[in-house]
Chains A and B, each alone.
Chain A
């Protein structure tokens, strides 16, 4: 089994984001981490390898600092890591990034499964997975909550998708692109043995030439989507009211009246 898992480095969930007048988003010196949804994809990739053999390569498109996210993935148990970057890729939108990732996956070659988290917590679009699947011409199994069966010899897979309406069982041929939801597993801790391995691992950087990316399709200038304006959400307001009364019954009934008036119950 040749498994690829893609990850994006994002600001920590605890970071306070600021947006200035020019629509620039910043998060001070808050740490950058693996996109939390991707941890489930990484865990699932490692479990597939442990069950069926083969190897897991973790892939990220991003600047030099994204190396840390790749190391974290190797510390969890991925075998190899590849960083894809050069200055021309800066500012690529989801359309371009899915193209870049698909080109990198083609270069890795004979891949059976590509795994993603369901979305990234910064952009929150969840578009990349579909884009990559389309460009590779492989089926997309999104929002997977369980891999029921995988038969590497027959090149078939059966999964359980978690949808708003319920669960859906889907069977597909390999190779496939999968996006996972958090119900699928519990991501493991990196082991100290793997942390040590990650700290010594030489991570190659593939530039756009290495993966035959056409210059006209990537970068800020060629983005199909434009962020016309970014603004922070208005702060939520709320108030606290302590309900008093002569007896617990009176307090409870006052509370019930208020909840009904607000159409909460």
Chain B
């Protein structure tokens, strides 16, 4: 067993950490206040190769694998969850769906521009009536000659207002439903900045947190997709989408790992500095217990995340562990921001602190990319499968 990161992964971490501190951090507060994504930061990240981290070099990527991608997400999550989410939706699920589901032609056509940041990607699954129950999507794709025509809408799509390339799941055969009747497509929603014909992005959602990561509905009206843009096989799109989310959960765990560490760091600094009753509050056992619990959970999460990344990179089964990364990561991060806020006292309730922003930013990680209830169901499903019992049809 070797718990040392490779030299290359260490170099990647050093680069991302410097970038996050020097470029991402200064833009964070402004993005949170104005709800405008820091696009120039994303461009700079692209210029040094960060948008291609997990993909092979033949597609313009860095070939640093899931481990490298988790390093990127951890270091970004440490500084700004919004930027981590924009990049995560772009690479981790948007471009990832094209990589996992696309044939050679589609990979070559889309991935180099996405790795270079020339285009931003999104992953569009959720609809008004289809959240956790993703199989009940209604966006319709009707065959017309050698094209498909999309009609309907999506909701809550990260990068919806920015993306010009999207992986989208639509119903090609309503009679068959999700299993056999849903097809994944890669679509081009913007040309030179203007929405493509038949596509209208909705308004930015007003969210509790993640203000620097725009989310919107999407609507499609007679939107044409060439047949060659099918990801995977016709009717089997649900598989492509679920596989993409499986991988995405590992890196989401990594982003929460970064977020949790950053609030622990703030909590330690503040507890050491703040004096009440004639001594630093760090000298109270109740504060010590809080930071010790935070650190222990973070350390456990780190092991889980990087071991799971190792499973992915070594082509071993990882679905159960990926669900655990997302489940534990989001809950550990939530507990950590809650404790850090408590240690900060009134200051942790002030918009002038990173702890307050983290508190708002963090909450969504228990909900998106499959709610934690759904993660528990998926993990249990795997556990029972291991003892030969099928708990879901």
Q: How far is the CA of A195 from the CA of B7 in the complex (A)?
A: 11
Contact with B along A187-210 (1 / 0, CB 8 A): 011111101100100000000000
| Number of A positions contacting B (CB below 8 A) | 9
Which chain B residues in 180-223 approach chain A with CB under 8 Å? none
Residues of B within 8 A of A189 (CB): 15, 18-19, 23, 44, 47-48
Q: Kindly list chain B residues whose C-beta atoms are within 8 Å of the C-beta of A190.
A: 15, 48
**What is the minimal beta-carbon distance from B367 to any residue of chain A, in angstroms?**
32
Do the beta carbons of B7 and A192 come within 8 Å of each other?
A: no
A199 touches which of B8, B47, B53, B64 (Cβ 8 Å): B8
Chain B residues positioned under 8 Å from A188 (CB to CB)? 47-48
- Could you tell me if B49 and A191 are in contact, using CB atoms closer than 8 angstroms? yes
**What DSSP secondary structure best describes chain B's contact surface?**
helix
Chain B: number of interface residues, binned into ranges: 10 to 19
Q: B19 touching A193 by the CB < 8 A rule?
A: no
B12 contacts the other chain (Cβ, under 8 Å)?
Answer: yes
Q: How far is the CA of A195 from the CA of B14 in the complex (A)?
A: 11
**In the assembled complex, B137 has its CB within 8 A of some CB on chain A:** no
Question: Using Cβ atoms and an 8 Å threshold, which residues of chain A touch B44?
Answer: 189
Please indicate the chain A residues that have their CB under 8 angstroms from the CB of B23 in the complex: 189
Q: Which residue of A lies closest to B14 (CB)?
A: A195
A191-B47, A192-B62 as given contacts; A199 in contact with B11, CB under 8 Å: yes
Q: Which residues of A contact B53 (CB under 8 A)?
A: 192
Cβ contacts A96-111/B at 8 Å (1 or 0 each): 0000000000000000
Q: How far is the CA of A196 from the CA of B10 in the complex (A)?
A: 12
Q: Which chain A residues border B49 with CB–CB below 8 Å?
A: 191-193
What is the CA–CA distance of A247 and B23 in the complex, to the nearest angstrom? 43
Q: Is B50 an interface residue (CB 8 A)?
A: yes
**Complexed CA–CA distance, A196 and B15 (Å):** 12
Q: List 30 A-B contacts (CB under 8 A).
A: A188-B47, A188-B48, A189-B15, A189-B18, A189-B23, A189-B44, A189-B47, A189-B48, A190-B15, A191-B47, A191-B48, A192-B11, A192-B12, A192-B15, A192-B48, A192-B49, A192-B50, A192-B53, A192-B62, A192-B64, A193-B49, A193-B62, A195-B11, A195-B12, A195-B15, A196-B8, A196-B11, A196-B62, A199-B8, A199-B11
Instruction: Give me the interface of A with B, judged by CB distance under 8 Å.
Output: 188-193, 195-196, 199
